[in-house]
Amino acid sequence: MTTHDCDVNHGGHDPLAKSISTFLHLDSTSTTSSDLKEALSEILERFQIDQRYRNDERYLKLWMRYADLSDDADKVFLLLKSAGIGTQLSLFWAAWAYVLEMAEAYERVALIIAEGRARGAQPVSLLEEFLSSFHERMLERMRMVGLDSRIGEVKEEIDFASTRSSEQAMLRAKQSQTAAHAQREHAPDQPNISQREPIEGIDELCTGGGGAYGSKCRPVDAPLGARDANSRDGAALRRKECSARNRPDRLPRPRVETDKTATIATATPTLVRNPFSPDMRRRLTTNTAQYLCWASSSSIVLDSLAKVCPRRMAKVKVGSRRPVELARSLGNQRINVLRVLGEGAFAVVFSCKFSKNQRDVAVKVEYKEYAPSLPWECFITLQLSERLLHRRQGKICSVNEAPITVVKPEALFLYRDGCAMAMPVGLAGTLHDLVVLYSKRAQAVPQLVAMHYAVEMLRFCRAMHSASILHMDIKPDNWLLVRRPRSEVDRTEEMGHAGGIDHSMSLIDFGRAIDLSVFPQNGSDVAFMGQCCARSFSCPAMREGLAWKHDADLYALGSCMYFMLHGVYLEVSREREDDSTLNRSGRWRPVQNCKRYWEVDLWDKIFSELLNSDYRATDTAGTNETLLRLEESLTSYLNVDHRSRDLKDCLRRQDNMISDR
């Protein structure tokens, strides 16, 4: 709206024009910023209740100048939105998005532009131009900082304290009293504990915009009022500025201590406390979601998640086939929500079907109050797939390393009150479902089938750890029964693995995963503390409050194999020196022994290795060598002709059981 238009619409009387002239005169003089802000505040307050100027572009530009002078421009735009000032102008939404981009709150930029579209802000072309240029700038940022291969490094510096505190001394004393076994005799001292307070969580400034993915806004770098007409979509950042803004600081190298009794120099690792706390999960989610959410506006849904998968459906019995009559919308596609596939403490998984092509899909739903980890899960799962593909293409992995199947998410949708992620449906359920299926027939999983799936599980964990990712929530419910593509079956048959069988397993639910690649040397000098899973799947170090790393995944893997064999959860005890004396340095072993007609020696070897792994005794390469040895032992046993035929017969009968259930 121009000055001439205002004169006509206001009957030739336009008090705002005189106020603007007065302000421009003050702005051109040597008035201090505080005086200028005070004068501008008086003008804005004078016309705030005047309905004539609510969507006047001149009045909005005065507010933009005020936001430029404020310490928190984001709060100014939130105030304007609540008051309905400028919300019908595309300039309002583009300017707000620009402020958020300068504050590196990239995940909220797409939300703001989408809301401007939904409100019918004019002209629409301005929003389209801004979003297009924003995408280009994000791609440039990603290219400059190498985010095409690794996105979202943790922006937390770890303080390597040179002195030991009393708390550290107590922890070392406790660790020395409960030192496990002979492998720990020459282990390094207990890691240094960082005493730095965790970084503050992300403040949620608005309940409607950005939600859990909001970012604390910092003042903009350039005055909004200084932009000309050709830069209304936001000035492009210079290469050095982009790199400085987006490249996270690398963590410092730890000091290295040489152990004269060891064959190699060992580093005292840094301890990261409780990586599964809500604050840590929120920071990880925000750090990576910002690169996921901007890419496609169709993934931003300005609606309630409850309209897609109502909360009341979470009360439907798991596995219930009761259909939902009304179709729902997931993004821009119509779906039918059929039943609940599974339910956990933080999420519910629904079985759905696309209305257009009747394709089955699983939709995992998390609500905002549970600190949603779906953006992180989506990101890290895609990263796992990309890193494994890179290893194969770069011939980094062994020529004899069989490919694994990663269940990749299809789409991520962000709602006002949570997240929804679409992913392929497992045709045969999970490992837990399989064990229950056999138990209903008063049977146990055949030993040959258990061995075959054990090979698949070992292979998956070995590949996952090679990609510098810890799963940290390995349990029977998270092992999905999958079928290998024909090309992979042929390759494994040529290498002598699994005899051309397409039955496999894949880990899902990476919401608690840890990306070791964000630490120096792929996390070789870092250890962790904290609880992350049920006691049956928690390693001894985790239960005793000690440090852990790969050993947490390996213990949970052994617990899953035990559950597959026995049909009950694992209970362990230490070996005893005699009938009455507990050997504190003894190895952990299952309370229940293997059946006599099983391959007892082979299973004992597997459980001994997996349940007694120690991150201080072996690095990632050593851990993978252990998994490879166990895998080769099982494979050599299964590759005998008659056992291979028996295994195929067992799997064929199992397929019939699954289809008849």
Indicate if 499 and 590 belong to the same structural domain: yes
Tokens of 115: 């809301």
Name which of 545, 561, 377, 387 is nearest 472 in CA terms.
Answer: 377
Backbone phi and psi for residue 34, each to the nearest 5 degrees, phi listed first: -70, -40
Question: Are the C-beta atoms of 617 and 587 separated by less than 8 Å?
Answer: no
Q: Which H or E run includes 77?
A: helix 73-83
Answer whether residue 120 is part of any domain: no
Backbone phi and psi for residue 220, each to the nearest 5 degrees, phi listed first: -70, 160
- The burial of 472, by beta-carbon neighbours within 10 Å (0-12 exposed, 13-18 middle, 19 or more buried), is given as buried
Name which of 492, 472, 508, 449 is nearest 650 in CA terms.
Answer: 449
Average pLDDT over residues 409-431: 84
Question: Are the C-beta atoms of 422 and 361 separated by less than 8 Å?
Answer: yes
One DSSP character per residue, 141-158 reads HHHHTTTTTS--------
Kindly tell me if the per-residue pLDDT of 144 is higher than 70.
no
Answer whether residue 490 is part of any domain: yes
**Conformational region of residue 511, where left means phi above 0, alpha means psi within -120 to 50, and beta covers everything else:** alpha
Q: Across 159-269, where does the E strand assignment appear?
A: 192-193, 256-257, 266-267
**Which of 110-124, 172-186, 433-447 shows the lowest per-residue confidence on average (mean pLDDT)?**
172-186
Kindly tell me if the per-residue pLDDT of 565 is higher than 90.
yes
Q: Count of alpha carbons within 13 Å of 625, Cβ hemisphere only?
A: 6
Helices vs strands, H then E, count in the chain: 20, 17
Which carries the bigger pLDDT value, residue 339 or residue 452? 452
Cross-strand pairs, 84: none
Which CATH number belongs to the domain containing residue 4 in this structure?
Answer: 1.25.40.430
Strand arrangement of the beta sheet that strand 418-423 belongs to: 328-330, 333-343, 347-354, 360-367, 418-423, 411-415
Question: Are the C-beta atoms of 437 and 411 separated by less than 8 Å?
Answer: no
As a dihedral over the C-alpha atoms of residue 128, residue 132, residue 137, residue 142, rounded to 10 degrees, the angle is 130
Indicate if 411 and 445 belong to the same structural domain: no
Kindly tell me if the per-residue pLDDT of 62 is higher than 70.
yes
Which carries the bigger pLDDT value, residue 468 or residue 335? 468
- The burial of 4, by beta-carbon neighbours within 10 Å (0-12 exposed, 13-18 middle, 19 or more buried), is given as exposed
Parallel, antiparallel, or unpaired: how do β-strands 418-423 and 360-367 relate? antiparallel
Kindly tell me if the per-residue pLDDT of 463 is higher than 90.
yes
Residue 281's pLDDT is 63
Rounded to whole angstroms, how far apart are CA atoms 454 and 393? 26
The model's confidence at residue 163, banded by pLDDT at 50, 70 and 90, is very low
Indicate if 414 and 453 belong to the same structural domain: no
Kindly tell me if the per-residue pLDDT of 603 is higher than 70.
yes
Residue 49's pLDDT is 82
Kindly tell me if the per-residue pLDDT of 633 is higher than 90.
yes
Question: Are the C-beta atoms of 209 and 87 separated by less than 8 Å?
Answer: no
The gap from C-alpha 387 to its chain's centroid, in whole angstroms, comes to 16
637-655 pLDDT, tens digit per residue, is 998 878 888 999 999 999 9
Kindly tell me if the per-residue pLDDT of 152 is higher than 80.
no
Kindly tell me if the per-residue pLDDT of 17 is higher than 90.
no
Rounded to whole angstroms, how far apart are CA atoms 264 and 272? 24
Residue 535's pLDDT is 77
b (16+ CB within 10 A) / e for 508-527 = bbbbbbbbbbbbbebbbbbb
The model's confidence at residue 341, banded by pLDDT at 50, 70 and 90, is confident
Which carries the bigger pLDDT value, residue 289 or residue 377? 377
**Which of 165-169, 527-531, 577-581 shows the lowest per-residue confidence on average (mean pLDDT)?**
165-169
Average pLDDT over residues 227-239: 34
Q: Across 368-439, where does the E strand assignment appear?
A: 411-415, 418-423
Q: Which H or E run includes 347?
A: strand 347-354
**End of a domain among 57, 73, 88?**
88
Residue 277's pLDDT is 72
Average pLDDT over residues 179-198: 36
Average pLDDT over residues 52-76: 88
Answer whether residue 445 is part of any domain: yes
Average pLDDT over residues 275-291: 62
The model's confidence at residue 506, banded by pLDDT at 50, 70 and 90, is very high
Percent of the chain with pLDDT over 70: 64
**End of a domain among 363, 394, 423?**
423
Residue 89's pLDDT is 94
Whole-number Cα distances in Å, 550 to 73, 493, 553, 581: 44, 30, 6, 30
Indicate if 366 and 491 belong to the same structural domain: no
Indicate if 405 and 452 belong to the same structural domain: no
Residue 282's pLDDT is 62
Name the 3-class secondary structure at 237.
Answer: coil
Kindly tell me if the per-residue pLDDT of 157 is higher than 80.
no
The model's confidence at residue 254, banded by pLDDT at 50, 70 and 90, is very low
DSSP annotation of 311 reads G
383-394 pLDDT, tens digit per residue, is 899 899 888 876
Kindly tell me if the per-residue pLDDT of 64 is higher than 70.
yes
Indicate if 396 and 437 belong to the same structural domain: no
82-104 pLDDT, tens digit per residue, is 999 999 999 999 999 999 888 87
The gap from C-alpha 385 to its chain's centroid, in whole angstroms, comes to 14
Count of domains in the chain? 3
Rounded to whole angstroms, how far apart are CA atoms 379 and 410? 11
Q: What is the gyration radius of the CA atoms in the chain, in angstroms? A: 29
Residue 444's pLDDT is 93
Residue 264's pLDDT is 35
Indicate if 407 and 521 belong to the same structural domain: no
**Which of 236-240, 580-584, 649-653 shows the lowest per-residue confidence on average (mean pLDDT)?**
236-240
Kindly tell me if the per-residue pLDDT of 363 is higher than 70.
yes
Residue 536's pLDDT is 79
Name the 3-class secondary structure at 501.
Answer: coil
The model's confidence at residue 436, banded by pLDDT at 50, 70 and 90, is very high
Strand arrangement of the beta sheet that strand 270-273 belongs to: 192-193, 270-273, 526-529
Average pLDDT over residues 627-642: 90
Domain that holds residue 414: 297-423
Residue 457's pLDDT is 96
Summary mean pLDDT of the chain: 72
User: Angle at CA 161, nearest 5°, toward 155 and 163?
Assistant: 170
Kindly tell me if the per-residue pLDDT of 658 is higher than 80.
yes
The model's confidence at residue 231, banded by pLDDT at 50, 70 and 90, is very low
Indicate if 514 and 448 belong to the same structural domain: yes
Residue 288's pLDDT is 54
Whole-number Cα distances in Å, 388 to 197, 467, 468, 478, 516: 35, 7, 10, 20, 15
Kindly tell me if the per-residue pLDDT of 167 is higher than 90.
no
Percent of the chain with pLDDT over 90: 23
Kindly tell me if the per-residue pLDDT of 480 is higher than 70.
yes
Which CATH number belongs to the domain containing residue 385 in this structure?
Answer: 3.30.200.20
Whole-number Cα distances in Å, 635 to 498, 610, 639: 7, 17, 6
Which CATH number belongs to the domain containing residue 492 in this structure?
Answer: 1.10.510.10
Indicate if 419 and 456 belong to the same structural domain: no
The model's confidence at residue 23, banded by pLDDT at 50, 70 and 90, is confident
Answer whether residue 14 is part of any domain: yes
Kindly tell me if the per-residue pLDDT of 205 is higher than 90.
no
Question: Are the C-beta atoms of 90 and 126 separated by less than 8 Å?
Answer: yes
The model's confidence at residue 136, banded by pLDDT at 50, 70 and 90, is confident
**End of a domain among 404, 423, 442?**
423
Kindly tell me if the per-residue pLDDT of 191 is higher than 80.
no
Answer whether residue 254 is part of any domain: no
Average pLDDT over residues 45-49: 85
Answer whether residue 595 is part of any domain: yes
Sequence letter at residue 104: E
Residue 302's pLDDT is 57
Residue 562's pLDDT is 96
**Which of 19-28, 146-155, 263-272 shows the lowest per-residue confidence on average (mean pLDDT)?**
146-155
Indicate if 482 and 629 belong to the same structural domain: yes
Name the 3-class secondary structure at 333.
Answer: strand
Residue 653's pLDDT is 93
Sequence letter at residue 302: L
Kindly tell me if the per-residue pLDDT of 292 is higher than 70.
no
Residue 117's pLDDT is 87
Tokens of 568: 């009950």
Rounded to whole angstroms, how far apart are CA atoms 38 and 23? 11
- The burial of 488, by beta-carbon neighbours within 10 Å (0-12 exposed, 13-18 middle, 19 or more buried), is given as middle
Q: Across 479-552, where does the E strand assignment appear?
A: 479-483, 503-507, 514-515, 526-529
Kindly tell me if the per-residue pLDDT of 210 is higher than 60.
no
Answer whether residue 213 is part of any domain: no
Indicate if 413 and 473 belong to the same structural domain: no
Average pLDDT over residues 460-476: 93
309-324 pLDDT, tens digit per residue, is 665 554 445 555 554 4
Residue 629's pLDDT is 92
DSSP annotation of 286 reads H
Name which of 67, 65, 116, 68 is nearest 92 in CA terms.
Answer: 116
Rounded to whole angstroms, how far apart are CA atoms 234 and 243? 17
Residue 146's pLDDT is 45
Average pLDDT over residues 294-322: 54
Kindly tell me if the per-residue pLDDT of 300 is higher than 60.
no
The model's confidence at residue 34, banded by pLDDT at 50, 70 and 90, is confident
Answer whether residue 127 is part of any domain: no
Indicate if 519 and 644 belong to the same structural domain: yes
